[in-house]
Amino acid sequence: MTTASDRQRIWLTGATSGIGRALAERLLDDGHRVALSARSESALGELAAGRDNALLLPLDVSDHQAVQRAGERLGEAFGGLDLVILNAGTCEYLDARDFDVDLVERVFAPNFFGAVYGVEAALPLLRRARAEGGRPLLAATSSAAAYLPLPRAEAYGASKAALSHFLESLRLDLDAEGIDVSLIHPGFVKTPLTDRNDFAMPMRVSVDEAATAILDGLAKRRLDINFPRRFTLLVRLMGILPPRLRHRLGLRMTRQDTPSESRS
């Protein structure tokens, strides 16, 4: 049971669907003061109904000014932040035969730049918590796709790899300030987003299993929270293979349909 002294001030983005919703429900049930962000104000209201420890901050994380305003409101409401979980994101797959740079930009907007905007807004509030004597934690949801280039994942995988690299670098620079950084690298999780996938998803886990793994990893302040472990270990091992062998394995995962078949 969470005691009053254990209760944290938390900001969670992507809070109304999938992993984010499961995390939101658990954190609110545990009595933490949680600022919930997502694009849909009505979905946020439904999630927070009857919970006086929820603060609703509807926003599109790819809107820089909106994220800045959210940070200002958080400062007014909470003073500081003990935990930030930048979880909002999207996924679209690229067909190289019909290259679409707009798709790449759409994916990078929330997955990478939205997280960077969140970091900018959250850092002053994490520093406030540190000045109060706490040990604040910044976390973000990347993906196991960041470990290994995969077919059609040019946009999604690159956005998550960029996020992982950015936060691993930031972790080094924030260490002296006493602000920790955790990266979350899930494998396949059953969410509305993955329900749209048209390929096999080995070892897919439920959102409840994902939330348990994430919250356990955050409590232990793990640098890299990855799950399910067998799947992420396999992907990481494939990612460090010699380039030629990694290329051959990747080719086995590419689609063999013709351009006309792929557009039917």
* Residues with active-site annotation: 156
How many alpha carbons lie under 13 Å from residue 195 in its C-beta half-sphere? 7
Q: Collect all residues with Cβ–Cβ distance below 8 Å to 60 and sequence separation of at least 6.
A: 39, 66, 110
What's the per-residue H, E or C state across 28-78? HHCCCEEEEECCCHHHHHHHHCCCCCEEECCCCCCCHHHHHHHHHHHHHHH
What is d(CA 24, CA 30) in angstroms, rounded to the nearest whole number? 10
Identify any residues that bridge with 205 across adjacent strands, giving them in sequence order.
Answer: 189
Q: Which one-letter DSSP state was computed for residue 205?
A: B
How far separated are the first and last CA of the chain, in Å rounded?
54
Place of tokens 């962000």: 37
Asked if 185 and 146 count as a contact pair (C-beta separation under 8 A), the reply is yes
* Angle value at C-alpha 68, between 73 and 13, nearest 5 degrees: 75
Asked if 32 and 3 count as a contact pair (C-beta separation under 8 A), the reply is no
Q: Which one-letter DSSP state was computed for residue 176?
A: G
Token output for 124: 């002053």
Place of tokens 């992420």: 232
Count H helices and E strands in the chain, helices first: 10, 7
